[in-house]
A and B are shown apart, each in its own frame.
Chain A
């Protein structure tokens, strides 16, 4: 497939979607934060949950030794380096503080991701469906995670960039984005699987396995994908002596690798309300991924399934954030409403309403927003 060229109208549309959705998000956040019921200072709100960890990473780098949490056994090794590195670079070059740099990186990543997502959708769908998909992602219930200093925004950017460049045959670029993806989050390395599916769709088993002429760039991309992860592992070995420290330190959060089915069942059957909610959303995402695969959107479906099942092997917590910020979820909404466009407006209204609810929940540091 050839890369999509955008028209002037497309650029105006995309700019409007990106800017207006962020204005809406930050306006709602500021309004709620300024209210008497929020009970938290602006400083607390801006550094909610994991933002504190990323801010420390941006400002001070990785811990040499575990000292955090009450048990003193936590360190920031579980947080992958690319997002804080980019924010740190911006901070050094611009003079902005680490926190502001983090917010800028997240929001700029969101904007670029929306543009690339639109170009990707135009390869597969008509213009109306493509526009619906990007609007849905911009007004999504969890759209706030694209604008706070978490890795969701950067991860989603590299994810859609990898898939788009691979599908449009620009394999070397896809490999670079895939390497960046694996340096953004521990699950990023799993992009190898969807990339392999794209390569097989383009070249076939025989050509690819024997690296026939014409497949070199695709194979390079597949081999480049783990590079980000392995560079981080090398750094961890040299700095703390344990290349797998990013896995081992998960113990401090009681995350031990187990059977995703068992984890899901325990959360759904025996967990509290938060656990049940996380398990339900995980189930929804698995259904979404499965339906995408059934509809022959194999790459998108695999991204959803991997994006939920792998984290589910350790814990059900944070699964809504992991699953509902992946772009294939919104592609699934587009596929669902392809022959029923009248359903799109109600879906967007519901998304916006939920988005407002979750923004308020975030401001209030509700436990289900971790």
Chain B
């Protein structure tokens, strides 16, 4: 190995390292659709749905009796004939809203799995939009109800026009004791439909 060869090797090292750095940068900045990103990269979406966009037209009905493409990977059961049960403490929905569509109100129709009774604590549902709390509803009956939440102007549509609804079912507390709800099933909510006005 002569002194002449060493610069060639160091030049090769620089080329290879630059190439690897460049490709690594490309890997960190993928050029993919929102659905691809949510499904494969973030692993947040439940259904690939042939890569269809999550575009939502304000005012249209999201019917949970059919497969809903907006469901998060965690937090949802298989759809049934009249709707879909949530599972666990958190369930999310992802919508692609055009920036011209400013959401004003959210309407949810459904019912909880259990009503409070002796030994069964009160079910609470918290609704978030893009991480901002819209409201908290006490679910004290198994009758189907319509919950309406106003969406303040301060809630911004995130990058890629993503609008994320999150439903939280925190540990319930008995009104007569400090015991918490004994079964995850008690926290389920049956979603019939959602409309974003």
Residues of A whose CB lies within 8 Å of any CB of B are 65-67, 71-73, 211, 213-214, 216-217, 219-220, 223-224, 226-227, 230, 233-234, 237, 240-245, 248-249, 251, 256
Task: Evaluate whether A72 and B19 lie within 8 angstroms (CB atoms) in the complex, with A216-B9, A237-B31, A242-B30 already known.
Answer: no
Contacts A223-B16, A243-B26 aside, 4 further interface pairs with beta carbons under 8 A come to A72-B48, A220-B13, A233-B23, A244-B27
Pair B32/A241 contact, Cβ less than 8 Å: yes
- Number of residues in B with C-beta < 8 Å to the partner? 27
Enumerate chain B residues within 8 angstroms of A73, measured Cβ to Cβ: 39, 48
Task: Evaluate whether A219 and B30 lie within 8 angstroms (CB atoms) in the complex, with A234-B23, A248-B41 already known.
Answer: no
Pair A243/B51 contact, Cβ less than 8 Å: no
Enumerate chain B residues within 8 angstroms of A217, measured Cβ to Cβ: 1, 9
Enumerate chain B residues within 8 angstroms of A230, measured Cβ to Cβ: 19-20, 23
Enumerate chain A residues within 8 angstroms of B16, measured Cβ to Cβ: 223-224, 227
Q: Mark B44-56, 1 if CB is under 8 A from A, else 0.
A: 0001111100000
B126 to chain A, nearest CB (A): 28
* Cα(A234)–Cα(B20), bound, Å: 10
* Cα(A219)–Cα(B1), bound, Å: 14
The 8 closest A-B pairs by CB, nearest first: A243-B27, A73-B48, A241-B31, A248-B40, A216-B9, A242-B30, A241-B32, A237-B26
B151 to chain A, nearest CB (A): 32
* Cα(A139)–Cα(B162), bound, Å: 57
Q: Closest residue to A232 on the B side, CB-wise?
A: B23
Pair B27/A237 contact, Cβ less than 8 Å: yes
Enumerate chain A residues within 8 angstroms of B32, measured Cβ to Cβ: 240-242
Q: Closest residue to B22 on the A side, CB-wise?
A: A234
Enumerate chain A residues within 8 angstroms of B50, measured Cβ to Cβ: 67, 72
Pair A65/B51 contact, Cβ less than 8 Å: yes
Residues of B whose CB lies within 8 Å of any CB of A are 1, 5-6, 9-10, 12-13, 16-17, 19-20, 23, 26-27, 30-32, 36, 39-41, 43, 47-51
Enumerate chain B residues within 8 angstroms of A227, measured Cβ to Cβ: 16, 19
A267 to chain B, nearest CB (A): 21
Pair A220/B12 contact, Cβ less than 8 Å: yes
Q: Closest residue to A230 on the B side, CB-wise?
A: B23
* Cα(A324)–Cα(B43), bound, Å: 32
* Cα(A224)–Cα(B27), bound, Å: 19
Pair B48/A237 contact, Cβ less than 8 Å: no
Enumerate chain A residues within 8 angstroms of B10, measured Cβ to Cβ: 211
Pair B27/A233 contact, Cβ less than 8 Å: yes
Among A72, A237, A256, find the residue whose CB has the most chain B CB atoms closer than 10 A.
A237
Pair B48/A220 contact, Cβ less than 8 Å: no
Enumerate chain B residues within 8 angstroms of A256, measured Cβ to Cβ: 43
Task: Evaluate whether A243 and B36 lie within 8 angstroms (CB atoms) in the complex, with A66-B48, A67-B50, A251-B43 already known.
Answer: no
Q: Closest residue to B20 on the A side, CB-wise?
A: A230
Among B1, B12, B30, B41, find the residue whose CB has the most chain A CB atoms closer than 10 A.
B30
A292 to chain B, nearest CB (A): 30
* Cα(A66)–Cα(B30), bound, Å: 16
Among A223, A224, A226, A240, find the residue whose CB has the most chain B CB atoms closer than 10 A.
A223
